[in-house]
């Protein structure tokens, strides 16, 4: 009976360097097949969240810039939002999505870039709706400071 030994490779000398690579999210092939859907983009100053639903509003896929590996202030950038839109578009194409309606909420810098990168993958956008809450006068402002 022969015994086998496992050899473990020593870590490369360049592996100790810290890189700022964005990790890829594994996309599994979805069983759901939808042709139209709604894309919700919530863009804050700190993050960009994108949710894909079917035409009834049931969530099918979602992604955020934090889930892609962006950390700290980089999560709120237009580049991170573009990557989120691109990755979610790949998932949507695997499900067979042909046309979407976009609902945008928030005032962050990733609003437009997430939608643009989603559309660049070849999915038609039927409508874009902005539902950012706007205060109608709101609460009474704080008193003036006395210095």
DSSP 137: S
By C-alpha distance, which of 38, 60, 68 is closest to 76? 68
- pLDDT at site 90: 92
The span from the CA of 69 to the CA of 87, in Å, is: 13
Residue with tokens 């983009």: 41
CA distance 14 to 44: 36
Domain 34-130 class?
A: alpha beta
Q: What is the DSSP letter of 145?
A: P
d(C-alpha 52, C-alpha 32), whole Å: 12
pLDDT top residue among 133 and 31: 133
83-123 tens-digit pLDDT: 999 999 999 999 999 999 999 999 988 889 999 998 999 99
What pTM was estimated for this model as a whole?
Answer: 0.74
pLDDT in tens, 24-67: 555 565 677 888 999 999 999 999 999 999 999 899 999 999 99
- Predicted local confidence at residue 1, as pLDDT: 56
The per-residue pLDDT for 17 is 54
The SS3 call for residue 105 is strand
What's the rounded Cα separation, in Å, for the pair 147 and 37?
Answer: 55
CB 117, CB 92: distance < 8 Å: no
pLDDT at site 10:
59
What SS3 state is found at 5? coil
More confident residue, 63 or 9: 63
Residue 28: the pLDDT is 60
């Amino acid at each position: 009976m022969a015994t086998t030994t496992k050899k473990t490779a020593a870590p490369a000398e360049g592996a100790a360097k810290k890189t700022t690579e964005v990790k890829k999210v594994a996309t599994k092939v979805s069983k759901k097949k939808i042709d139209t859907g709604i894309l919700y983009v919530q863009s804050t100053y700190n993050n960009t969240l994108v949710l894909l639903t079917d035409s009834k509003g049931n969530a099918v896929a979602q992604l955020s810039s934090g889930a892609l590996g962006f950390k700290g202030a980089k999560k709120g950038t237009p580049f991170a939002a573009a990557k989120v839109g691109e990755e979610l578009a790949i998932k949507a194409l695997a499900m067979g999505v042909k046309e979407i309606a976009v609902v945008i909420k928030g005032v962050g810098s990733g609003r437009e870039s997430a939608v643009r990168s989603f559309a660049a993958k070849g999915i038609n956008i039927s409508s874009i709706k902005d539902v950012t809450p706007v205060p109608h006068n709101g609460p009474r402002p704080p008193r003036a400071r006395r210095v």
